[in-house]
Structure 1
């Protein structure tokens, strides 16, 4: 098959790899019809995620058609169309029984990290990803959700990760009716966090980013107020000025470890890698939130440490909530939001590429060229 191949930091290509095969009776083989490039893939590309091995295939957002199933699979059959959560979860362990599929203890031997994840280095189990023509899906009776006959793959593709992640980010904010919510980061996850904040009762939503084209997209797509932090002397002070001097009720970090905005953290965390990325977005969220407010962290950070303003958070009495998304929990609910037209999930797609043009897709997405918000790959070269 044709698949994305990681060649080392900042280098990807497309080449031939062996077709995946059934390794366990609970496996399924999926013919991938849509796959996406996620901001988290850029953390791999840039060398921030340890044990990302040369030759591996990225991609944890994909949908497709079931080609083959193992002898124990009961809920799927060849020909079924499915969208697959990025978490690989067993469905029966201590965490899965509690709906915490992002913490599954049977799919990742690394107990300090989340569950197994497709195409996300050996720190999450070393599973091959979905930026390929075919992919092996373990625990096929647990993760994949069948796509309704009246919906297409692109309408539900982002149920695999970024829509549930954005929604969980808003939900963890414990938004009360009328609350002011600030979302740091106007990328795809941030867009869905903004839309979700409105659904959960926010009275005001403000997006913070440094790219004007993304802020313009956020204004149109999510009907939010926007702040370009490069135009502000002090973005924390600006946010407090906009909120009666107290600060927002809820701050959502939808950026992660490659945040811009702090020269010190850019040098220490991004260039020198002396901390696990730049915690600028977390610190702005902590510093901006009102006393007694909530900070929700859905941007990805790696171990072992960051210079986070935890003392400020403690003294302000903030609630901090964070985590990888328990995707399976949210898929049915968010499917209904899509069907009802409350969320136009495919509306964030700005670019589509055949798999052969994957390096170009990565370049556009990484360098934020041509107004790129979200790239979708067509592994078999047709719409």
Structure 2
């Protein structure tokens, strides 16, 4: 079958013929219908995240935001059948640890990232395998367009889990989103659906315009201000700051700006991961965090049981992940799309839908 294959960090990938996967006893094989092309793929392709234990090896197949149809099931599978249409979270859990049992499967003690390790290849391929499928795989509601939900494996799901389950967003709150890439635009859209007043922050006019389409009440072009936190606070009552601030990019500047945009008692939601420049370390105003009781909260992926909440809100027209999809491309163009993320110009979520 055809797949996009990684060779070396920063070296343009290409489409190659590889063996079709076979399901493990507790796994399945999925024929890929669509797969989001994520900045996390770019991070891994560039060689970032060695400090997190992510070190892609030659022959790896990326792709962790898939939607597809089950083509084969292992002998131990009980809840899935050939022909089921499914999506898959990128952080695959085993269903047995204390976190899985308490509803936090996204931080499973034995978590395996889809498409980042050689023993769990991803979905930039005609087919891909999924381990522990009864626990991880989510069946799609009837009639769902695969392209529209191709971001649920990572970006949209992470923003949803963070804003709905990790921080406290109530109607009328002010929420700032720093960085309007795919996950940032998802956060804007979700925060608006939750009834918040949303301030979108970026340096690209096109991204800020898209943020307005998705519900941002105010926008800030960072190229036009010397003090982003002050600009954010100026939109809030008495310049107090926002109740929730989202760093959706992960570089040191956006992380600090996000924390400094908060009101007293505010919550910083950290979604963006750092690059090789920060290597996971960012200095923060610790004394201010302590004295004003601000909170710093992480969000990664989403446990499978929360997908039902997204589908319910989609059915009622409250959210529409498809609005964030910016383009669709065939498998051959995936390497170029990933490489183009060097320029941080990607608007929304590009999706591969031809395999």
Normalising by structure 1, we get a TM-score of 0.85
* Distance (Å, rounded) in 2 between the aligned partners of 1:166 and 1:153: 19
Query: Does the aligned pair in 2 maintain the 1:365–1:373 contact within 8 Å?
Result: no
| Aligned residue number for residue 41 of structure 2 | 41
Q: Which residue of 2 aligns with 1:289?
A: 262
Q: CA deviation at 1:364?
A: 4.2
How far the C-alpha of 1:33 sits from its partner, in A, is 1.1
- 1:374 match: 349
- Distance in 2 of aligned mates of 1:353 and 1:373: 14
1:109 is aligned to none
Match of 1:306 among 282, 288, 307: 282
Distance in 2 (CA, whole Å) between partners of 1:121 and 1:301 is: 19
Match of residue 113 from structure 2:
117
Contact 2:29 2:130 in 1 (8 A): yes
The alignment of Structure 1 onto Structure 2 pairs a total of residues equal to 345
Give 3-state SS (helix, strand or coil) of 2:35's partner: strand
d(CA) in 1 for partners of 2:44, 2:151 = 20
Structure with more contact order per residue of length (Cα contacts < 8 Å, sep ≥ 6)? 2
Pick one of 178, 181, 193 that aligns with 1:184. 178
User: Given that residues 156 and 335 in structure 1 are in contact (C-alpha distance below 8 angstroms), is that contact kept between their aligned partners in structure 2?
Assistant: no
Which of 171, 189, 194 aligns to 2:188? It is 194
2: CA distance, partners of 1:73 / 1:58: 25
Alignment-derived partner of residue 61 in structure 2: 57
**Counterpart contact for 2:151–2:349, Cα < 8 Å:** no
TM-superposed CA distance for 1:317, in Å, is: 1.1
Aligned match of 1:7: 7
Q: Deviations over 1:216-247 (max 9, x none)?
A: 11111224311011111111222222222321
Q: 1:97: which partner in 2?
A: 101
Query: Does the 8 A contact of 1:165 with 1:327 survive in 2?
Result: no
Equivalent in the alignment of 1:262: none
Q: Alpha carbons of 1:7 and 1:311: their partners in 2 closer, same or farther (altered >3 Å)?
A: farther
What CA distance in whole angstroms lies between the structure 1 residues aligned with 2:48 and 2:10?
A: 11
- Counterpart position of 2:296: 320
**Alpha-carbon distance in 1 for matches of 2:284, 2:42:** 22
Deviation at 1:173, TM superposition (A): 2.8
Answer yes or no: is 1:241 the counterpart of 2:234. Answer: yes
Q: TM-score scaled by structure 2?
A: 0.91
Does residue 161 in structure 1 map to residue 154 in structure 2? Answer: yes
- Deviation of the 1:360 alpha carbon: 2.6
Contact 1:3 1:17 in 2 (8 A): yes
Distance (whole Å) between structure 1 residues aligned to residue 302 and residue 209 of structure 2: 30
Contact 1:251–1:289 (8 Å) recurs in 2: yes
CA offsets 1:140-171 (integer angstroms, 9 cap, x no match): 11111112222221233222222221112223
- Residue 218 of structure 2 is matched in structure 1 by 225
The C-alpha deviation readout for 1:153-197, integer Å capped at 9, x for no partner, is 123322222222111222323123311110111111111211221
Moved more, 186-195 or 296-305: 296-305
Q: 1:72 and 2:73 equivalent?
A: no
Q: Give the RMSD, CA atoms, in angstroms.
A: 1.9
Instruction: Report if the CA contact (8 A) 2:188-2:214 is conserved.
Output: no
Q: What's the offset of the Cα at 1:306? A: 3.0
Given that residues 89 and 142 in structure 1 are in contact (C-alpha distance below 8 angstroms), is that contact kept between their aligned partners in structure 2? yes
**C-alpha deviations, 1:304-336, integer Å up to 9, x for none?**
533233333222210221131223132001011
Q: Deviations over 1:328-360 (max 9, x none)?
A: 132001011112221121121121111022223
Equivalent pair of 2:61/2:124 in contact (CA under 8 Å):
yes
Structure 1 residue ranges without an equivalent (≥5)? 107-114, 260-278
1:112 maps to what in 2?
none
Tell me the alpha carbon deviations over residues 9-48 of structure 1, each in whole angstroms, 9 at most, x when there is no partner.
22222212221122x3111011111111112112112221
- The one of 199, 202, 208 equivalent to 1:206 is 199
